[in-house]
Structure 1
């Protein structure tokens, strides 16, 4: 990961007095840091925390090119089709940096054209000092984070990868009353800078939405009539394009279908590409975790260099507040699932030289993998629920994977959220994508049947949520958390919950503790901008997000 930070229309000419706010996200880019102003951009400042993954020598930002001297770019992410674009449009690159193509595309066709031609995960701020305009864009699923701070009356705009870098500004008198929210995914915004260096929103345009096919030339150019073969081919391509890295690559491995498929494909393709080092896989859990046992079987089958991280309840509870700080969320299931990912990311950073991590996020939303999809009233409603989950990923699972890895200076890449793969999968008839024969994600499993990519017991292993699978079935992780939080919140405090938190009122002491901790770090936040609702199963009477509480839960 990297971290971007920008401020425009500052009330003070000395924008560097806000350095402390920019440093709030230094964990995202531990390799290098730069903050700069420029005479072309009075009362403005651009900051960048770098995790060096590609072009160590010329990849520092803000990026400026000799051919486009009035353009400034800061971005966090990876543009996987930068070489395809170079070949297609004869771009002359000055660096090996994948994001350089953003500047070339903008010069060729404007900002909306630019965003429509990017294949990757990204959040960027591009400044055209000659036109006195600012452009802010984010990928379709919000895999890379971006927040904005707007003060319309004062003409101020702030951009940051995480809200904490803007909330720190808000503590200063000149920024009191600022509105901080996420930049919507799939959107590109245009702002003007007036003669007094104040900023004004001109337009906000959607360049892509969930299920919409790519407008650019794709890695896979032809698909056949067999959807199973197409699924297989497109997922292989999604994994292959993400091999782009000058740093060591690894993979999170829970032993569930999603991460196991990605790890197995990654191992095969790393050998085909003759990568010089063994791919490391990482599993985490408590004693008796079914995930750890399953991941061990997968690692033996695919022959990865496997690492197991075993944690105790005490170790997990000790980082709970730190996890909530990094997440900037109080959602129950997000926090539960984040503790394990936070701890395994910490292990990867401290014990290995792996920096780029593959993950299986996005498959459950895309392929109807949650157990409650068995209860969908119709294929149409199941499809609509899948789209809703995909659209909201940036508040939940995508947020979790970003913050837990970025907290430790790692970069995560989720192939299941590949643009071409998702748009093709969602174009299949709704009936094909539903659970079948009592098995969720049936069509995805069927696509890899008979390939020996995974053992059959893993390929057809029932769904186990990461937040559940890290613990034994004798005592689930959510039960440990509930018992712990019950000792921290007294009855009198809990009984006042509706008055304290009238929006998204917590219904358990666990949820109350998460909200209280969130408010300690980020008081008075707009719920819609951070946690619009609690993630819960649909079409059930469930009062807890854990799949282990559902009547149709199957031991894995």
Structure 2
């Protein structure tokens, strides 16, 4: 993971301006502590802060073609770079081992129409000195962050993070995933146009082997590394499958030749938290070298301002989940590890959140998964990327592999539906795909373990502690005047208000607050899914309630929790009804029209 900044078409290109660009670029140094570079061509600047994962002894940026007329700065991993290198071996003189260098021959061969040929995650800016044009692009679903802004002098600023441009651009916004920006065309166009983006309901039958092999390929290609790596392991389904597949195929990779076949796994939690116990069990089964990190509620509270600074959001759920991840990333980097694999994206693709139990039909289910995947760049992708890159640690997410997304989103959603009569729990299609008798990937009780939201899994006292702390920091009078103080995305509770105060101090611009999503949500749903249940629309708590949905509910555990959140709360059901296994009724409403809400 790296940090890039491009400032293009400045009115001033003096040494003072160059110094300003360098100063702004250094705000991204946490993303790339290994090297920095700056290219200038008259009024155009391209800067990069590098985290070296592939070819650390070469590949410093900016990258150039042979006569240095085409220049690129990139933050990304191009997993098919070796194939592309072979394609252009006779035409292009490669000068580095960087996987991102293949962007240059692709541009020289196809102009701007090459981005869909890249298999990986990326954000990049390319400048052509011959005609003074430039283009920028972001990966399919926005795994890597990117922002675009406009200076008062007419310049265009493009940056990995908002902090490098927010003071210099009166207007800025998120660079949309799956798009490219062209100076020649003077605007955006979408390069990623999958069939699922239109939200048409697919009809491809469920094929367990196809789904399993697509995921295994996604994991294997992400083992492309020249530095030590590991896996994040919470003990839940998604991270456990990532760890299992990595462990199984590691011996076949070049990484094994460099670092051996031992796999390191990492988990974070409060003392006695569910994730610590579950992760240890999976680690013992897989035989990983397991590292368990503990934190206290006070550790988390003390880190919140840094988390908001790095994550550039005031979304409550994102901050809750980011804080333990932020603390863990620092510990991992201290061990000399620079890259980890993680399990983000599965719940969005496969309808893993418990509110999906109440989808009225497969059409609505599929449309909601489409909406969730489209919004990932503002939630889980943002959290996973920024909370770890704060310490120069790269996270790779195989569930968001472009080919795996295609397989998962092309499946007839009938197979994804929660159906207790058929013994199908959430994400049954994934569980079933890896439920093999010979050489099992995971024990069955782990394979069929119900989802635990990350901010809950690290320890239930974490949420209680945050609420108690923010209750002391924000007065009732402040809440009474919340709409006047924050008319845009008004905080609805004290925790949200506290985070907003910090965000506004760090990023006071209108454009900054507009980059954060907001709106009614039930248990992590999009606003559209609230239409599924009439009582959800009538609720005085439009953002949902965090209610227990576990087999081991107890007064000391999540069953004791009912809480309002600032935007999304990704566990359990709503309106104060505690639901064993997440399958109870909501004011008489039964999931998917079933009369028996028992998981198989």
Length-normalised TM-score, structure 2: 0.83
Secondary structure, in 3 states, of the residue corresponding to 1:46?
A: strand
Q: Contact 1:6–1:45 at 8 Å: present in 2 too?
A: yes
Aligned to 2:454: 466
Q: Contact 1:5–1:165 at 8 Å: present in 2 too?
A: yes
Residues 408-428 of structure 1 show CA distances to partners (whole Å, capped at 9, x for unaligned) of 001111000000010111111
Q: CA deviation at 1:226?
A: 6.5
Secondary structure, in 3 states, of the residue corresponding to 2:226?
A: coil
Residues 373-418 of structure 1 show CA distances to partners (whole Å, capped at 9, x for unaligned) of 0011111111111111110111110000010110000111100000
Q: What runs of 5+ residues in structure 2 fail to find an aligned partner?
A: 198-203, 531-535, 546-563, 583-598
Please tell me the root mean square deviation across aligned C-alpha atoms, in Å: 2.0
Question: How many residue pairs are counted as aligned between the two chains?
Answer: 521
**1:182 matched to 2:174:** yes
Match of 1:309 among 293, 298, 317: 293
Q: Distance in 2 between matches of 1:271 and 1:300?
A: 19
Q: CA deviation at 1:84?
A: 1.9
Q: CA deviation at 1:554?
A: 3.0
Name the CA shift for 1:553/1:399 in 2 (closer, same or farther; >3 Å).
Answer: farther
Q: Contact 1:211–1:422 at 8 Å: present in 2 too?
A: no
**1:342 matched to 2:334:** no
Q: CA deviation at 1:54?
A: 1.4
Secondary structure, in 3 states, of the residue corresponding to 2:338?
A: strand
Q: CA deviation at 1:80?
A: 0.5
Q: Distance in 2 between matches of 1:402 and 1:536?
A: 25
Q: Distance in 1 between matches of 2:193 and 2:383?
A: 21
Match of 2:232 among 237, 249, 252: 252
Name the CA shift for 1:165/1:239 in 2 (closer, same or farther; >3 Å).
Answer: same
Q: Distance in 2 between matches of 1:246 and 1:511?
A: 41
Q: Distance in 1 between matches of 2:522 and 2:33?
A: 35
Q: Distance in 2 between matches of 1:158 and 1:322?
A: 24
Q: Contact 2:205–2:412 at 8 Å: present in 1 too?
A: no
Aligned to 1:98: 99
Aligned to 1:494: 479
Aligned to 1:520: 505
Question: What pairs with 1:117-196 in structure 2 (closer than 5 Å)?
Answer: 117-151=117-151, 154-170=153-169, 178-192=170-184
Q: What runs of 5+ residues in structure 1 fail to find an aligned partner?
A: 171-177, 193-200, 214-223
Aligned to 1:42: 42
Length-normalised TM-score, structure 1: 0.90
Q: CA deviation at 1:449?
A: 0.4
Q: Distance in 1 between matches of 2:212 and 2:218?
A: 10
Q: Distance in 2 between matches of 1:130 and 1:513?
A: 50
Secondary structure, in 3 states, of the residue corresponding to 1:354?
A: coil
Q: CA deviation at 1:58?
A: 2.6
Q: CA deviation at 1:180?
A: 1.1
Aligned to 1:17: 19
Match of 1:282 among 248, 266, 270: 266
Aligned to 2:516: 531
Aligned to 2:557: none
Q: Distance in 2 between matches of 1:358 and 1:100?
A: 23
Name the CA shift for 1:253/1:333 in 2 (closer, same or farther; >3 Å).
Answer: same
Q: CA deviation at 1:498?
A: 0.5
Q: Normalized per residue, which structure has more strand?
A: 1
Match of 1:481 among 462, 466, 470: 466
**1:446 matched to 2:432:** yes
Secondary structure, in 3 states, of the residue corresponding to 2:224?
A: coil
Aligned to 1:60: 60
**1:319 matched to 2:299:** no
Secondary structure, in 3 states, of the residue corresponding to 2:381?
A: helix
Name the CA shift for 1:481/1:411 in 2 (closer, same or farther; >3 Å).
Answer: same
Q: Distance in 1 between matches of 2:357 and 2:161?
A: 36
Aligned to 1:219: none
Q: Contact 1:468–1:546 at 8 Å: present in 2 too?
A: no
